[in-house]
């Protein structure tokens, strides 16, 4: 059970508690419905109905019951960089899918996390920014449904920074720039994306850090979050990510993965409002290929 507290400010005086909870705490309709069925709304410690009027200075408490939904627990390496009762920051290895599916058989990050939190029956893996199986590095996950919703809403805005490091084939046309090219699903494809006029807007900022031996080390920052965005945009520039078998070619030195690493995440904590900033260096496997 996760409890959130909110002291009613003067501007919310006289409002219905349901309006305050939905607007100020950002609860989804489904979460709010669950609250009503479980005496999850309290005003100054007393359960109240959704149409209760609140007054400035009163304290609203919201009690969110967590539903268990963990997959099979399997022991495996998982690097948790930061953990509290609202969020997890994980440094994911590669190749490793975030979640199992019909196309992703075998172990997944969710199995390892289920084992790590096997003493918490209510634990559910709630990834916020997913990483491809072949991408390593930092990703955020929520520890409860409220935090997941708040972080997901912030994901594609200025309050959630995502920076990557990539080794790409060749040298980009400029030392820095922005790839502003819409991305859509390739005709007849299940996974593959491509730049196409009718696609969804996509913007990737890049900076070339070093070049040599036919490759470049590039820092990238996502402004949007389309599927395979960095991989598609780098291939669009004529510099596919090294080892990217879908948009370029495989690299014998990178079995099962490609040279893309989530190197930095900065976000606003969904409960405290604190700014959190995390970095993860390139894994040795990619450092060895740097120019």
Between 6 and 181, the more confident residue is 181
**Which pair of structure tokens corresponds to residue 291?**
């120019």
Q: What are residue 241's DSSP bridge partners? A: 168
Verify whether residue 39 is a known catalytic residue: no
Q: Where are the beta strands (DSSP E) in 77-159?
A: 79-83, 87-92, 126-127, 136-142
Does residue 85 contact residue 117 with C-beta atoms inside 8 Å?
A: no
pLDDT, position 62? 84
Q: Please, which pLDDT band fits residue 135 given cuts at 50, 70 and 90?
A: very high
Mean pLDDT of 130-136: 94
When mean pLDDT is compared across 54-68, 116-130, 240-254, the lowest value belongs to 54-68
Handedness of CA 126, 77, 163, 272 (dihedral sign): positive
Catalytic hit among 12, 39, 107, 132: 132
Mean pLDDT of 179-198: 93
In terms of Cα–Cα distance, which of 41, 105, 32 is closest to 71?
105
Structure letter (DSSP) for residue 10: G
Q: What are residue 194's DSSP bridge partners? A: 184
Q: Long-range contacts for 189-196 (Cβ within 8 Å, ≥24 apart)?
A: 191/228, 191/246, 192/228, 192/246, 192/247, 193/226, 193/227, 193/228, 193/232, 194/232, 195/232, 195/233, 195/236
- Helical ranges in 73-173 per DSSP H: 109-116, 145-154
Q: Kindly state the helix (H) or strand (E) to which residue 22 belongs, with its residue range.
A: helix 17-24
In terms of Cα–Cα distance, which of 242, 268, 264, 267 is closest to 255?
242
Q: How many of the other CB atoms lie within 10 Å of CB of 74?
A: 14
Q: What are residue 62's DSSP bridge partners? A: 4, 41
Q: What is the dihedral of CA 14, 15, 16, 22, to 10 degrees?
A: -150
pLDDT, position 83? 96
What's the CA gap between 34 and 29, in Å, rounded?
A: 9
Q: Please, which pLDDT band fits residue 68 given cuts at 50, 70 and 90?
A: very low
CA–CA distances in Å: residue 280 to residues 89, 103, 180, 284: 11, 28, 27, 12
CA–CA distances in Å: residue 46 to residues 5, 41, 59, 139: 13, 8, 10, 38
**Which pair of structure tokens corresponds to residue 195?**
């730049």
Does residue 238 come out as left (phi exceeding 0), alpha (psi in the -120 to 50 range) or beta?
A: left
Q: What is the dihedral of CA 10, 13, 19, 22, to 10 degrees?
A: 30
The segment with the largest mean pLDDT, out of 39-43, 56-60, 68-72, is: 56-60
When mean pLDDT is compared across 64-73, 90-99, 247-256, the lowest value belongs to 64-73
Does residue 86 contact residue 271 with C-beta atoms inside 8 Å?
A: yes
Question: Tens digits of per-residue pLDDT, 254-286?
Answer: 999 999 999 999 999 998 999 999 999 999 999
């Amino acid at each position: 059970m996760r409890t959130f507290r909110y002291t009613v400010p003067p501007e919310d005086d006289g409002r219905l508690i349901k309006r305050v909870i939905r607007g100020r705490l950002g609860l989804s309709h489904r979460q709010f419905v669950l609250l009503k069925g479980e005496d999850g709304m309290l005003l100054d410690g007393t359960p109240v109905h959704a149409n209760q009027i609140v007054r400035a200075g009163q304290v609203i408490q919201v009690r969110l019951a967590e539903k268990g939904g963990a997959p099979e627990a399997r022991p495996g390496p998982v690097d948790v960089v930061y953990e509290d009762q609202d969020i997890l920051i994980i440094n994911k290895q590669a190749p490793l899918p975030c979640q199992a599916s019909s196309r992703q058989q075998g172990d997944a990050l969710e199995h390892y996390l289920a084992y790590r939190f096997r003493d918490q029956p209510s634990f559910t893996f709630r990834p916020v920014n997913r990483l491809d199986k072949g991408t390593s590095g930092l990703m955020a996950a929520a520890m409860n449904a409220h935090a997941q919703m708040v972080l997901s809403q912030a994901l594609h805005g200025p309050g959630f920074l995502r920076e990557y490091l990539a080794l790409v084939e060749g040298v980009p046309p400029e030392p820095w720039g922005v790839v502003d090219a819409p991305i859509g699903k390739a005709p007849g494809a299940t996974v593959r994306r491509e730049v196409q006029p009718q696609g969804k807007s996509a913007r990737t900022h890049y900076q070339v850090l070093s070049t040599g031996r036919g490759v470049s080390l590039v820092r990238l920052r996502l402004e949007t979050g389309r599927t395979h965005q960095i991989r598609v945009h780098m291939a669009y520039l004529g510099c596919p990510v090294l080892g990217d078998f879908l948009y370029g070619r495989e690299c014998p030195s990178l079995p099962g993965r490609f040279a893309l690493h989530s190197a930095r995440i900065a976000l606003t904590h969904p409960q405290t409002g604190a700014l959190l900033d995390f970095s993860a260096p390139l894994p040795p496997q990619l450092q060895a290929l740097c120019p």
